[in-house]
Amino acid sequence: MQTATSLANRGLRILCPNGHLGFAPSRRGSFDNGIEAAPDIVACDSGSCDIGPVPLGMDGTASPLAWQRHDVEMMLLGARPRGLPVIIGSAGDTGTDSRVDRFVDLVQDIAREHGLPRFKLGYFYSELSRETVRAKMTAGQTILGLPGRADLTEAELDATERIVAVAGVHPYMKLMDMGADVIIGGRSSDCAIFAAPAIRKGYPEALAYYFGKVMECASFCAEPYGGKESILGEITMEDVRVTAMLPEQRCTVASVAGHAMYERANPYYEHFVGGHIDMRDCVYEQLDERTTRVTGPRYVPAADLRVKLEGSGKIGERYVGLVGIRDPYTVARVDDVIAWARRMVQERFGSEGYQLSYNVYGRDGVMGRLEPLRDKPGHELCVVVQAVAPTREMAEEICIMGTRQMFYARLPDVKGTAGGVAFLLDEVMPASPAYRWTLNHTMPIDDPMEPFRVHMTEAGI
Amino acid sequence: MSPASRPLSAIAKTIRSKNAGVDHITFDVIFPDRASYDHVRHSGALSPAAICQVFGIAPQRLTDHVEFDPAFAIKFTIAREGASGSLGDGDLFGSQHYAPLIDIPIPEPAG
């Protein structure tokens, strides 16, 4: 146990068990080691836009409830008996209101089940209505596209099913001011979850945001590679220190600096509501075998306040078919086979009002036009057929036709005349509806709390 | 006789790709030490022009290209044709797009 003397001489310590709570279960041993290392807070992020636009659009989730429960339970039972705060951001993959409610329920269930002493449970919502965004546009404000995206149009807004705003530190700090012991956040910047308690304790913003940046993916900043292991970070007035909690892992200069690049278009800048940090002059030093120390990030406040919006819009209902091809003559002419099937669909359904897509695995199914070897297909191919249409019935029929007609494709010199392709199943499979990212934009706001609604309840006995 | 070369995968410690937001894929090529990092970046094999040629893209789709000294890394980012998860996207996380970098030949240092 830590003594009062050693506590007085140290910074703020946060234990992070997972870079995306629920997506794969956290590993237990390194978390227990982390709890033994006397953290002040246990925190992690639970969201990502990597999972694509479907969960946000459907207001669903990419992670099993059992895994989310596993991690929330582990964090609460590790932290609450020691009186430590717990912070979880971007609840349930998407950070929509329904996912926040689900996590609040989870916390209350677990606290009741384990008889945890009563605590204050704060939470906030990040969802925005289309009308809120439309009101900004009507008032003449521009919803700016992030690099590579056009500014938002009313038509694209109308095509959007659901929108979340990405919170900065502000709703977290507000809830801490209100006395929350446990916080469940709606969609948030990953770094804000860790930066908020540090800024509130008076640590410099530059270090606090860097602290969040390096902590948010847990053991991805350690080596050797191994996800879902806990790391312990400490912020002081001078530096940030990160330590791997799995005995086999180390936070090295190479692994921590390497992580600064991860999932970012540029390794030097990290943006959030209210500004960004500039990491060009960061200095990385090996402090001990498993700890790296970082100094030198700079905080640059934003000239105007903008919040990032993520939005997903429905394309239609979806069915999926699978087709195998082994005849080398047909492999070489797979585009003709696909063209035939498309033509048959077109004869029945016309050329508009649905979408039909073919991924040719064994040729360029993963990378499409970016595939340098697309002129060198393998000896067998798998074609994945996706049909998207306004109704399930129509999507199913188009998918069956777009799949089965490959069997009947008329190639001039084919030797096999008893069926041109191989079926794994002579059926098509219902899939989740197809969605697309409609919003990856920023919206001007007058106050960093404007899009976010904070609430307080209780949990435990 | 062409000079001897080795594939990038024989020199780099890490070659990876991943979404950077929903509209971009970012690539990190990380080297084990200063010498190999310097050798590859000075070879031109991962120059902006070379990368555009590997992926068959126009220069404007290469949105970032950084030589990142603290990690001995060459990092670049390309704009996706459509956002991640659009119908037909075969790599939702962008996590297999690094494959064409593996076999890029790196000429051996002179001497």
Count Cα neighbours of A87 within 13 Å in the Cβ-side half-sphere: 30
Sort out which chain B residues have CB atoms less than 8 A from A253's CB and list them: 70
Identify the residue among A56, A261, A312 best suited for mutation to test binding to B, counting B beta carbons within 10 A and taking the highest. Answer: A261
Q: How far is B26 from chain A (nearest CA, A)?
A: 6
Q: Do B87 and A434 touch (CB under 8 A)?
A: yes
Q: What angle do CA B15, B20, B24 make, to 5 degrees?
A: 95
Sort out which chain B residues have CB atoms less than 8 A from A373's CB and list them: 100
Sort out which chain B residues have CB atoms less than 8 A from A437's CB and list them: 22-23, 83-86
Confidence of residue B109 (pLDDT cuts 50, 70, 90): confident
Q: Which long-range contacts (CB under 8 A, 24 or more apart) does B31-37 make?
A: B31/B72, B31/B73, B32/B72, B33/B72, B34/B72, B36/B11, B36/B12, B36/B72, B37/B72, B37/B73, B37/B74
ipTM metric: 0.95
Q: How far is B89 from chain A (nearest CA, A)?
A: 8
pLDDT at position B2 is 56
CA nearest to B80, candidates A252, A104, A49, A424: A49
Q: How far is B17 from chain A (nearest CA, A)?
A: 8
For B85, nearest residue in chain A (alpha carbons): A52
* Contact assessment for residue A45 and residue A212, using Cβ atoms and an 8 Å cutoff: no
CA nearest to A121, candidates A167, A67, A185, A165: A185
Q: Is A3 helix (H, G, I), strand (E, B) or coil?
A: coil
Q: Do A261 and B83 touch (CB under 8 A)?
A: no
Count Cα neighbours of B61 within 13 Å in the Cβ-side half-sphere: 17
Return residues 30-89 of A near B (CB < 8 Å).
49-54
d(CA A347, CA A249): 60
pLDDT at position A81 is 96
Residue A344's contacts (CB-CB under 8 Å, 6 or more residues apart) are A401, A402, A405, A408
Nearest neighbour of A367 by CB, restricted to B20, B86, B90: B90
Give the CA diameter of chain B: 51
pLDDT at position A9 is 63
d(CA A60, CA A93): 9
Residue-wise pLDDT tens digits, B26-83: 999 999 999 999 999 999 999 999 999 999 999 999 999 999 998 999 999 999 999 9
Q: How far is B64 from chain A (nearest CA, A)?
A: 7
User: Helix A65-79 to helix A28-36 angle, to the nearest 10 degrees?
Assistant: 20
pLDDT at position A4 is 41
Nearest neighbour of B26 by CB, restricted to A265, A372, A435: A265
d(CA B50, CA B72): 19
Tens of each residue's pLDDT in chain A, 461 residues: 443 444 446 899 999 999 999 999 999 999 999 999 999 999 999 999 999 999 999 999 999 999 999 999 999 999 999 999 999 999 999 999 999 999 999 999 999 999 999 999 999 999 999 999 999 999 999 999 999 999 999 999 999 999 999 999 999 999 999 999 999 999 999 999 999 999 999 999 999 999 999 999 999 999 998 889 999 999 999 999 999 999 999 999 999 998 888 888 888 999 999 999 999 999 999 999 999 999 999 999 999 999 999 999 999 999 999 999 999 999 999 999 999 999 999 999 999 999 999 999 999 999 999 999 999 999 999 999 999 999 999 999 999 999 999 999 999 988 888 888 999 999 999 999 999 999 999 999 999 999 999 999 999 99
CA nearest to A385, candidates A450, A419, A334, A349: A334
Return residues 428-447 of A near B (CB < 8 Å).
434-437, 440
Sort out which chain A residues have CB atoms less than 8 A from B21's CB and list them: 49, 146, 265, 440
Q: Length of chain B, please?
A: 111
